[in-house]
Amino acid sequence: MVAILPCAASAEAPAAVRVDSSPVLASYPAEGVVEAVRSATLAAQTQGRILEMTVDAGDRVKRGDLVIRIDAAAATQAVAGAQAQVEQARANAINARAQYERTQGLFEQKFVSQAALDQAEASLRAAEAALRAAEAGRGQATVARGFASLAAPMDGIVARRDAQPGEMAQPGRALLTIYDPTEMRVVADLPQSRLEALRRGPLSARVEFPDSGRWVESEHVELIPTADPRTHTVQARVGLPAEYAGVLPGTFARVHFATGEQSRIGVPPEAIVRRGEITGVYVQQADGGFVLRQVRLGEALSDGRIEVLAGLAPAESVATDAVKAGIAVKRGAAR
Which residues face 36 on adjacent strands? 184
Tell which wins on pLDDT, 231 or 16: 231
* Choice between 273 and 174, residue whose per-residue pLDDT is larger: 174
pLDDT of residue 41: 93
Distance separating the N- and C-terminal Cα atoms of the chain: 24
pLDDT of residue 333: 60
Residue 3 pLDDT:
39
- pTM of this structure: 0.61
Residue 31: the pLDDT is 92
d(Cα 238, Cα 185) in Å, to the nearest integer? Answer: 5
Percentage with pLDDT > 90 across the chain: 32
pLDDT value, residue 10:
45
In this structure, which amino acid lies at residue 289? G
pLDDT digits (tens, 9 = 90+) for 104-123: 998 888 888 899 889 999 99
CATH fold for domain 16-36+182-334? Elongation Factor Tu (Ef-tu); domain 3 (2.40.30)
Phi and psi at 119, nearest 5°, equal: -65, -40
Question: What DSSP character marks residue 246?
Answer: T
User: What is the rounded average pLDDT of the residues 11-30?
Assistant: 72
Where does 109-256 have alpha helices with state H? 114-146, 195-198
On the question of pLDDT at 185 being above 90, the answer is yes
Return the pLDDT at 6.
43
CATH of range 73-144; options 3.40.50, 2.60.40, 1.10.287, 3.30.470:
1.10.287
The residue-averaged pLDDT of 1-25 equals 58
Amino acid, res. 103 = T
Binned at pLDDT 50, 70 and 90, residue 201 comes out as: low
Q: Is the pLDDT of residue 7 over 50?
A: no
What's the chain's average pLDDT? 83
More reliable by pLDDT, 75 or 1 = 75
pLDDT cut 70: percent of the chain above it: 91
Average pLDDT of the segment spanning 282-300: 79
pLDDT digits (tens, 9 = 90+) for 31-83: 999 999 999 999 988 888 899 999 999 899 999 999 999 887 777 788 889 89
> What pLDDT, on a 0 to 100 scale, did the predictor assign at position 4?
37
Instruction: Check for a shared fold between 40-68+148-177 and 73-144.
Output: no
- In the chain, where the domains are located: 16-36+182-334, 40-68+148-177, 73-144
| pLDDT (tens digit per residue) in 128-150 | 999 999 999 888 888 877 788 89
Least trusted range by pLDDT, from 18-32, 173-187, 211-225, 239-253: 18-32
Q: Is 101 helix (H, G, I), strand (E, B) or coil?
A: helix
Q: Which CATH class is domain 40-68+148-177?
A: mainly beta
Q: pLDDT per residue over 308-318, tens digit each?
A: 888 777 878 78
**Residue 33: predicted pLDDT:** 95
Which stretch of 64-73, 99-108, 183-192, 268-277 has the lowest confidence by average pLDDT? 268-277
DSSP 2: -
Q: What is the mean pLDDT of residues 277-306?
A: 78
Rg (CA), the chain: 38
* pLDDT of 94 strictly over 50: yes
The secondary structure of residue 201, as a DSSP letter, is S
| CB distance 245 to 182 below 8 Å | yes
Q: Which one is predicted more confidently, 189 or 24?
A: 189
